[in-house]
Every structure is written in structure tokens, then in C-alpha cells.
Amino acid sequence: MFTQYFGNYLLNKGYLTPKQLHEGLEQIKDTRLKLGVLAVNAGYMTAEETEKVNEAQKKHDKRFGELAIEMGYLNEEQLEELLSSQKLGHLLLSQVLVDKGIMTLQEFEKAINEYKRDYSISDEEFEAIQKDDINEIVNKFTKFEGSKNETILKDYIALFAKNLIRFIDREAVITEVTKLEDYECQFAALQDIKGEISLATYIETDEDSFIKFASKYAEEDLTSLNEMAEASVGEFLNLHNGIFLVNISNQGIELKMTPQEVYRTIKVDNIYKVSFDLSFGKINILIKEG
């Protein structure tokens, strides 16, 4: 995820053209290595064990390495070794750009330093961000102005980003958070969270992206906005909110949720709109505090 952020930064600062960025990102896709691949390569885990960890990741809000240790497949020392050998996406992007003669190494160094300064990122935070620590990325790049539950909303969005990456699209990137007084949804799945913290949550997008999103989650080729497509997006929201409630419950706060519903062209007010770029389109998650 950080690769896309850094790539967009280079684009906005004029280091790259959109075409150059696109080509660079395309080129690094094949060279990015997963921790599981590295673990198998190192002989620390079997392919079957990595599959089991991947499955467990769908249910537990934990990283691959953390789960692999819990499940007894890796020890701390092995994990450290694998993490240090894991290629960092933004470095791959920079390498591609330098190799293609689009940037010099000096320009890259300058851009990285500007980036840290512009976002007030400490070396420690940068260490976490460049390892795609989603909680740190969301914490640093999103703001919920005026919210009395900003920490909880950031946790909610970080979890949503992780679930998007796990179930829908590993290239998902948060693009912006805006606060809007009025907004007209095109196609939206809605679910209310109630209790000590009350939130109305929506996944909203256009028809085409809704169908593609639904197809990804259902693992079926859906071609129209039918009952199955509505059920698929609704169930993803339900799954995400369910995991969120479990996380909050572990902090001692018990919340409830209502059955999910799907609407077409509804108006909402006083919401935070968090936009995500996916490989097949854009989606928004809308949050209205109660």
C-alpha cells in the first residue's frame, strides 16, 4: 500500500508522469515477494502451512508472521530474518524508476526526505509505514475532523483496508477522507452499529464497481446488479463489521449491529467519506456518527 502512496507523491511532486508511474507499478508486481514465499524458500514452512496461515488470516486480524509464530511454524528469529530479506515495495518502485532512467538515485533520496518532512514522519514511523503497517498508514494519512471517536474510526478504517486487501484486492489504497454535509449514494450496502458507539456504515460505489466488487467477494462472475450481487457486498460489510465488533468487544465495549440492507440512490448527511482506489474502480466507505 505504501508503494502506491509514495508513487502518488512522486507524481504530485512532478518527479513522474502518470504513464511512468503506471509502468513502474506494473513492473514491480511480479517482483514483490510474500512472506509465505520467503518462508517456503528458506525451508522454514511448507506450502501447506502457509495456506493454513492464509486461511487463519481471514479470521484473525493479525499479520502472517504473527500467526505463523502462534501456530508454531516459525520462531521469532526466523521471522526477523525473513522480514529483513523481504523486498520493500517502494524500494522496488524506485529501483525500477532508476533502472529505466526516469529518476536518479539522488532524486530518489531527495524525494524520500521531502516525503518524511511533508507528512512529519519520524524514522520509527517510516520504518512501520514502509513495511505496509496499515494501522500506521491510516493513523498518519487520515483525519476525522470533529469526531469524538477519531481513534475508533481510524481502527475501523484500518481494519476495512486490511479486509479489502484480504478478500477483494491486494492493491487497495486509501485516497482521501472528506467530511460531507450532504451526499447522494449511487449503490450502497448499509449496516448500523449500535451501542455505546453508534455508527451508520455504508459501502458505496457506482453500478459497475459494485458488480465487480460483488464478483470478487462471491468468487463468482456476476454480470448484473442482481440479488446475489447485493448479497455479496452486503455480506462483506457484515463480515467486516462483525470482526470490528469482536475487536471492540476485546476492549470491553459490547456493540450490536443490524441486518445489512442495500439501497439505490439514497441521500445521506453529515458523513465521513473514505475513498479507496481498487484495481477495478473506486469505492467509498461512508460513516455517520450517531
Q: Is 260 a residue that touches other proteins (CB under 8 A)? A: yes
Strands (E), 163-227: 173-184, 187-195, 199-205
Q: What sign does the CA torsion over 66, 72, 77, 79 have?
A: negative
Q: Is 258 a residue that touches other proteins (CB under 8 A)? A: yes
Q: What is the dihedral of CA 287, 59, 165, 114, to 10 degrees?
A: 80
Q: Is 55 a residue that touches other proteins (CB under 8 A)? A: yes
The nearest distance, CB 232 to other proteins, in angstroms, is 5
Q: How many whole angstroms from its chain centre is CA 129?
A: 13
Site for other proteins (CB under 8 A): which residue of 13, 29, 58, 87? 58
Q: Count of residues binding other proteins (CB under 8 A)?
A: 25
Question: What is the distance between the alpha carbons of residues 152 and 120, in angstroms, rounded to a whole number?
Answer: 22
SS3 state of residue 251: coil
Q: Is 243 a residue that touches other proteins (CB under 8 A)? A: yes
Helices (H) and strands (E) in the chain, counts: 13, 7
Q: Is 257 a residue that touches other proteins (CB under 8 A)? A: yes
Instruction: State how far the alpha carbon of 287 is from the alpha carbons of 80, 82, 121, 193, 263, in Å.
Output: 38, 38, 27, 10, 15
Contact criterion met (CB below 8 Å) for 100 and 22: no
Question: Where does this chain touch other proteins (CB under 8 A) — which range of 26-34, 105-113, 175-183, 226-234?
Answer: 226-234
Question: Where does this chain touch other proteins (CB under 8 A) — which range of 20-28, 98-106, 245-253, 282-290?
Answer: 245-253
* Single-letter amino acid code for the residue at 204: E
The nearest distance, CB 239 to other proteins, in angstroms, is 5
Q: Is 231 a residue that touches other proteins (CB under 8 A)? A: yes
Q: How many whole angstroms from its chain centre is CA 38?
A: 22
Beta carbon nearer to other proteins, 197 or 239: 239
Q: Is 22 a residue that touches other proteins (CB under 8 A)? A: no
Q: Which long-range contacts (CB under 8 A, 24 or more apart) does 120-125 make?
A: none
Q: Is 123 a residue that touches other proteins (CB under 8 A)? A: no
Beta carbon nearer to other proteins, 85 or 258: 258
Contact criterion met (CB below 8 Å) for 2 and 89: yes
Site for other proteins (CB under 8 A): which residue of 180, 228, 270, 290? 228
Q: Is 227 a residue that touches other proteins (CB under 8 A)? A: yes
Q: Which residues bind other proteins (CB under 8 A)?
A: 55, 58-59, 217-218, 227-228, 231-232, 234-235, 238-239, 241-243, 245-246, 249-250, 254, 257-260
